[in-house]
Amino acid sequence: MLSEKSRPVIEATAAVVAEHMPEITPKFYAHMFEAHPELLDGVFSRANQRNGEQAQALAGSIVKFAVHLLENPGTLPEAVLARIAHKHTALGITEDQYQIVYENLFWAIADVLGDAVTPEVAEAWTEVYWLMADALIKLEKGLYAKQANDKMWLDWKVVSKEPTGNAAVTFRFEPADDTPQTPGEAGGFVSVRVKVADGLRQARQYSLSDHAASTTERVITVKLDEAGEVSPVLIQNVEVGDVIELSNPYGEITPKDDSAPLMLATAGIGITPAASILSSLAEQGSDREVVVLHADASLESVALLGQLTESLSALPNAQAHLWLGVAPEQAPEGITVHEGRMDPSEIELPSGAEVILCGPLAFMQSTRSTLIDAGVPATSIRYEIFGPDIWLAA
């Protein structure tokens, strides 16, 4: 809870800090990496530094946290914190790194705002930072404690590598040693850490796309990003028999209420968490009402289509709709095909559904707005975003 001493200071300065965050965060990262270059080796993504998404996400999360403290005294934005904590634990973030971030972030704030950062302002924003940091540290300790091992990174061997859809590849792994493995959850993800061209290690997070709860198999589906650093290494260089590092599994979009209908709305490679959710429901013999909505360029572009149709055939109360830019000559069995952009208003939406979105940001924003206009409560809609949460920042 924000102290009464700090509250008026944060109220008076929140808008100014928010306005200058786009200038503060790039300075912060540059300063921190100059002092701690080791943080770019397997922890922070260079790609997200170059495109500015990491800075945007950090700025958004801090400002959102501060505003929540002002508007909701005595509470914390639990959903926001949970999302960040799962991302952090999948990268092996440690408690001591919060002090490093604090020192460099507040250097950048002072550098940008100058004399406006009085001792009172610095003290108030320090309180905000450590309220957020301490809450995340607590959550992350709890997540680490649930692991079946005490390792941040584990060795897994590639046992199959199969193309799927347009420029995507499904990798199946088995443990490379006898380390106890943590079962994942449907809709969850793992981080993959590999050496890139210059020898530095880079980590990226990929959804578990099948058999999420297994401790003897990990399955991810990776779409090639030709401008990226990690996906080209995985798709072009990693072969069957190779051993690479995976994190323990994390993620917080696992379906919650088994009694409510479930709607999965995805686009492109965003189908991967939905695929694991559907395979999990099929494995359980679930009779839950499930509505699957997916948008893609063409039928040939849809990743994991065979797995999707197999899961749907095992779910007695499931229906699926595809929106495709190019209509196929024949629709897959059990799937209704629509031509053009996804429009959930074209179908009858189940009442009281739990909704999970995954896909490009613009797609999720548009779909969420359409669903809310159709009467779906905003609190019933969750999303998975690949990379830093720039939706939160917005």
- The three-class DSSP label of residue 147 is coil
CATH code for the domain in which residue 14 is found = 1.10.490.10
- The answer to the question of residue 394 being in a domain is no
| Amino acid 212: pLDDT | 93
- State residue 391's pLDDT score: 60
Mean pLDDT for 324-344 is: 92
- Is residue 348 part of the annotated active site? The answer reads no
- Give the active site residue among 127, 140, 185, 229: 140
CATH number for 156:
2.40.30.10
pLDDT of residue 378 exceeding 70, the answer is: yes
Segment 15-69, tens digit of pLDDT: 999 899 889 999 999 999 999 999 999 998 888 888 777 877 887 888 889 999 9
Residue 256 above 70 pLDDT?
yes
What's the whole-number mean pLDDT along residues 208-227?
96
What average pLDDT does the structure give for the chain? 94
Do 139 and 162 sit in the same domain of this protein? no
Does the annotation count 140 as an active-site position?
A: yes
Residue 238 and residue 272 in one domain: no
Residue 392 domain-assigned?
A: no
Q: Residue 234 sits in which domain range?
A: 151-248
Q: Which class for 251: exposed (0-12), middle (13-18), buried (19 or more C-beta within 10 A)?
A: buried
On the question of pLDDT at 137 being above 60, the answer is yes
Spot the catalytic one: 29, 98, 129, 383: 98
The confidence score (pLDDT) of residue 390 equals 57
Instruction: Indicate which CATH number applies to the domain containing 329.
Output: 3.40.50.80
Mean pLDDT value across residues 331-354: 93
233 lies in some domain: yes
The rounded percent of the chain whose pLDDT value lies above 90 is 85
Q: Tell me, yes or no, whether 12 and 140 share the same domain.
A: yes
Query: What mean pLDDT comes out for the span 231-254?
Result: 97
Domains: count for the chain? 3
**Residue 392: is its pLDDT beyond 70?**
no
Residue 342 reports pLDDT greater than 70: yes
Pair (239, 272) in one structural domain: no
Same domain, 282 and 244: no
Directed axis angle between helix 53-71 and helix 119-145, to 10°? 100
Residues 236, 274 within the same domain: no
Q: Are residues 96 and 227 in the same domain?
A: no
Do 292 and 180 reside in the same domain of the chain? no
Q: Assess whether pLDDT exceeds 60 at residue 394.
A: no
Mean pLDDT for 297-325 is: 97
Instruction: Give yes or no: residues 188 and 64 share one domain.
Output: no
83 versus 137: which is more confidently predicted?
A: 137
Q: Please tell me whether residues 123 and 8 are part of one structural domain.
A: yes
Does the pLDDT at position 311 exceed 60?
yes
**What does 248-302 look like in DSSP terms, one character per residue?**
PPB-S-----TTS-EEEEEEGGGHHHHHHHHHHHHHHT----EEEEEEES-GGG-
